[in-house]
Amino acid sequence: MKISLWRQGHLVNASIADLKVSLDAAWVSIVDPTVEDLESVAESLGLPRHILVGKLRSNYPHADSYRQYTKIFAWDLWPSPAKGLAFNRNPAIVLTNGVSAITVTPSKSGLDDRIAQHLNDEDLNPLSVPTRVIYLGMLHLLEAHEALSERLEGETETLEEAQPPWSRSFYAETFAMRREGSRLLRLARHFRMLAEGLAKGNTRIPFTEEEARTLDTVYDRSVAVEETTETSLETMRDLISLHLDTLSHDMNRVMRLLASITAIVAIPTIITSLLGSNLVDVPWPWQLWQVGAFTTVIALLLAAYFYRRGWLRGG
């Protein structure tokens, strides 16, 4: 675990003993903690264990307000090296009492670097340091959602350009992509709800009007991410249904063709079978050419009927 304090515009190394944050270190960054580390942090801050060591893996983005602290939980997403829309996620936590803020993140997220880079930006001067930390952290997580949403949109456009019939592997990749898209949509929807709650002041954090307007920009963008993801997912589902219907239609055409050929061939087969029966004093007065001509005419009439119905052609 690495603990850093924000002092004089820089992150400096610290220890658990320094976690009682004062105004000269209004932001504390905790990177790559273990469960035991989080328990030590909670004990140092006088917090119940479940605030930091709850069921992180099963949670959706949310904000919880306690007597002294407000906890903001979200997922840091990044694309998986695997082909398609697969992505990984790690928990990101912001803990604040309105005066100071603590971020808990994995090292690979880069969230603390993003906050440190922009914490002293001039356009953020009207905001308190905890609000800046929350805003920059939410913005960093939102951009990861936006990147995955754009990736899903691009994959959907690729599907629209693909001509049926799809190959079996293409179907497998598409179904996997739809599964990941549904997963992304669930996370994007809860992230939007989290951003909405912060912008509307549904927590104990005393945001000013200026701070609420700034957080509202995150909410607006999160709404766009949710809508884009949902639209792409619906388009993908429609495309899959279209291609499956195309396969079903092609299968019906094949079955109609086979049924037509079977019916046409059955006519001469039945007639010749009857005339070829080994019976004494066969009463059939017909000659071979007459039987052949009769069966041919019947078969041609039946073929013409099926052709007009479209069973023997591409219609």
- Tens digits of residue pLDDT in 228-276: 999 998 888 887 777 766 666 566 667 777 778 888 888 778 777 766 6
Host H or E run for residue 36? helix 35-45
Average pLDDT over the chain reads 82
Give first-to-last CA distance, the chain, whole Å.
Answer: 69
Measured from the Cβ of residue 152, the count of other Cβ atoms closer than 10 Å reads 25
Q: Report the distance separating Cα 310 and Cα 155, nearest Å.
A: 37
For 85-99, the pLDDT digits (tens) are 888 888 899 988 888
How high is the pLDDT of residue 195? 94
User: Domain 2-246 carries which CATH code?
Assistant: 3.30.460.20
pTM for this prediction: 0.76
d(CA 208, CA 214): 10
For residue 239, count other CB atoms closer than 10 A to its CB. Answer: 18
For CATH 3.30.460.20, the residue range(s) in the chain are 2-246
More confident residue, 35 or 191: 191
Q: What is the pLDDT of residue 273?
A: 73
